[in-house]
Amino acid sequence: MRGHVDLGSRKNQAFLRIGKVLQHCALIGVVVAAPVLLNGCAGVTSASNSTTTTPPPPSTLNITGVQAASLTTTTSQIIWTTDVAANSQVDYGTTTSYGSSTSPDSTMVTNHQITLSGLAAGTTYYYQVSSTDSKSNNGHSGGHGFKTAGFGISGAINPAATGGSGATLALSGASSITTTADNVGNYTFSGLPNGTYTVIPSHPGYAFTPSSQSTTVNGSNVTGMNFAASASTAAPTIT
């Protein structure tokens, strides 16, 4: 009987030792597998990060083909193109600081046209164009210029053969320029703003009647500013 008990006790002890060995092996397996599991997690995290996309940059609005057209003495059409539909506005003035602006045209278009009115004749203007699309992207193009059509002063110097042809005429006043009479004595100053002017002819060896003329340009051309040329008489010299 005692031998039977001892045999059962030894069997139980053997089972306990086997259990401890299995527990020890399981623990070792967990320790060994942990880095692999962690690396696997890290790999998942890295894969997740690699699929993250950077938000696209905000879109832009491009302006091209800016020009002034259909110039008159008081108006000009400003035209330009955008790559997306947008509104229209023009800043303008007689200096590069502009100073005046049109009311924004809210019509969303790609081909833009704004008419400037109330301009001064024969005057240089500077301008910039601006457009904003439905996504609030804004574009502008500045530093452009144009000159409005002006008025003219014209006349003739007679006779052409004696002083008229090739005579020089100087204009002073609201503008200061010179011109030369053609081979039949005709001359013209063009592109002038409104204002008061004086015309003075000259040609070596000739005198002119009258010696000068003054006129005012006010919304229209001035014609008939004529002169008569005659050979000048040189004063005698004493030797």
Beta strands in the chain (DSSP E): 63-69, 76-93, 100-101, 105-116, 124-132, 138-147, 151-158, 168-173, 177-180, 186-192, 195-202, 206-209, 213-217, 227-231
Q: Where are the alpha helices (DSSP H) in the chain?
A: 2-50
In the chain, the number of structural domains is: 3
**pLDDT number for residue 54:** 66
**pLDDT number for residue 12:** 55
For tokens 């609030």, the residue is: 136
**pLDDT number for residue 45:** 41
**pLDDT number for residue 1:** 46
Q: Which residues, at least 6 apart from 233, have a Cβ–Cβ distance to it below 8 Å?
A: none
Label the pairing between strands 151-158 and 227-231. Answer: parallel
Give first-to-last CA distance, the chain, whole Å. 177
Whether 85 and 101 share a structural domain? yes
Q: Which residues, at least 6 apart from 69, have a Cβ–Cβ distance to it below 8 Å?
A: 76, 77, 78, 79
CB atoms within 10 A of CB 146: 19
Average confidence (pLDDT) per 10 residues, the chain, 239 residues? 50 56 49 46 45 63 96 97 97 97 97 97 97 96 96 95 91 96 96 96 95 96 96 73
Whether 68 and 133 share a structural domain? yes
Whether 71 and 139 share a structural domain? yes
**Residue that finishes a domain, picked among 107, 125, 147:** 147
**pLDDT number for residue 190:** 95
Its domain, for residue 123, covers: 63-147
Q: Quote the DSSP letter at residue 205.
A: T
Report if residue 204 sits inside a domain.
yes
Whether 32 and 73 share a structural domain? no
Report if residue 120 sits inside a domain.
yes
